[in-house]
Amino acid sequence: MDVKKITDTFTLAVPVLVVCSCIRLITYYHHWNIPILEYLSASELVLLFIQPVLVIAALAGIYLAFTLLFAAVMVALVKLGLFGKDRKSKEAEDQAAASQPASMQTRSLYARIWFIFSLGILTVVFFKGIWFDFEVIPTVLFHVFLLLGTTTAVRSLLPSDDKDGRIKPLITGTVVVLMSSSFFYGRYQAHDTELHPTRVKLALKDNAVIDTDSTRIYLGKTGGYYFFHNPKDKETSIIPVGEVRATYIK
């Protein structure tokens, strides 16, 4: 086991994980217009990489499963002859199409237009599922395509003597996917918080009580602050930890 290589990898991975955590937190709290980085201490920023390790481990398993499934489907399509046709068969098809009557060529044109239209509809539905309906599977598929696309693009930009290298494209694709998934994770967390708020009750040192209900939802906390939001009035309450005597999670 190369300890130095593991140490170097960990040293490079920690800043990336911290950035991913910052992206998730900024996205999550920006939903309620809270500049969360202003409420984080330096020690909290340093330790931000711990949570994404667990999330990344789960996402990596999901992405790997979908990537293998996608690769298996593509291999099956190639074996069925839907992809990878040789040039001669393509030229034969073009010649056959040219010899067809005008009516047949018109039908072929309509078929292509219908295919493009259907693809556009599927793209819109796919985007709607990701951005507005907060569906998980379309988001996972999007990141699988993002990983494959980024890896392919980076490999094409490498020098000719480094075209067969897989480490750089894979690392670049992984970093891009991690940052993108951190953004979407923050959005989905904010949406889930509004749909399924955590019931929290704070007993303050001045004997006042702050309780979550239909007019106040609990957003989360840092080492020094609690965050609540009133969805009706669109107002946010920030309670310093020093003012809290006891916390009760229902």
Write down the domain spans for the chain.
3-196, 197-250
101 class by beta-carbon count within 10 Å (0-12 exposed, 13-18 middle, 19+ buried): exposed
Note the pLDDT of residue 163.
Answer: 58
| Of 115, 146, 108, 118, residue with least CA distance to 130 | 146
Architecture of domain 197-250: Roll (2.30)
Phi, psi of 200 (to 5 degrees): -135, 140
Asked if 136 and 181 touch (Cβ cutoff 8 Å), the reply is no
| Of 171, 175, 127, 177, residue with least CA distance to 147 | 177
Asked if 175 and 14 touch (Cβ cutoff 8 Å), the reply is no
Asked if 186 and 236 touch (Cβ cutoff 8 Å), the reply is no
Note the pLDDT of residue 75.
Answer: 72
Low-confidence ranges of the chain (pLDDT < 70): 1-10, 49-64, 66-67, 70-71, 77-78, 80-108, 162-164
| C-alpha span between 202 and 210 (Å, rounded) | 5
Torsion (CA) 240, 241, 243, 248 in degrees, nearest 10: 120
Note the pLDDT of residue 86.
Answer: 45
Note the pLDDT of residue 50.
Answer: 66
| Of 245, 246, 219, residue with least CA distance to 230 | 219
pLDDT in tens, 18-43: 888 889 899 999 999 999 999 998 88
pLDDT in tens, 185-218: 899 999 999 999 999 999 999 999 999 998 899 9
